[in-house]
Amino acid sequence: MDCIFCKIATGQIPAKLIHQDEQVVAFADLNPQAPTHLLVIPREHIASLADLGEHHAALAGRLMAVAAKVARDAGLSQGFRTVINTGDEGGQTVGHLHLHVLGGRQMHWPPG
């Protein structure tokens, strides 16, 4: 498989890992859009949120729990935003499910 996030999850491509367990990996985004910009991905290759099935319920919960943990660990006590871009029109640029954790500045609404 030629998925960059799969390669990061398996260690084939180096990244600044901030969390890893049997199901989930989190790392700093290489193109940050906020002072703190972290990515949380499942080790399992799932192309997008649209491809998440009922059988992934526990994994989806784990992704959210890890997103909250890495936000706390990064000191984002004043707040943060989580984003899941899905599909081309949703702004997804890597075909592997991932959560963005953004913080360290005031977030505005609507996001764009």
pLDDT band at 35 (very low <50, low <70, confident <90, very high): very high
Distance of CA 28 to the CA centre of its chain: 9
pLDDT per residue as tens digits for the range 46-102: 999 999 999 999 999 999 999 999 999 999 999 999 999 999 999 999 999 999 999
- Strands in 1-112 per DSSP E: 17-20, 24-28, 36-42, 80-83, 99-103
pLDDT of residue 111 exceeding 90, the answer is no
Question: What architecture does CATH give domain 4-103?
Answer: 2-Layer Sandwich (3.30)
Q: Is 98 a catalytic residue?
A: yes
Catalytic residue among 45, 98, 100, 108: 98
**Count of CB atoms within 10 A of residue 25's CB?**
22
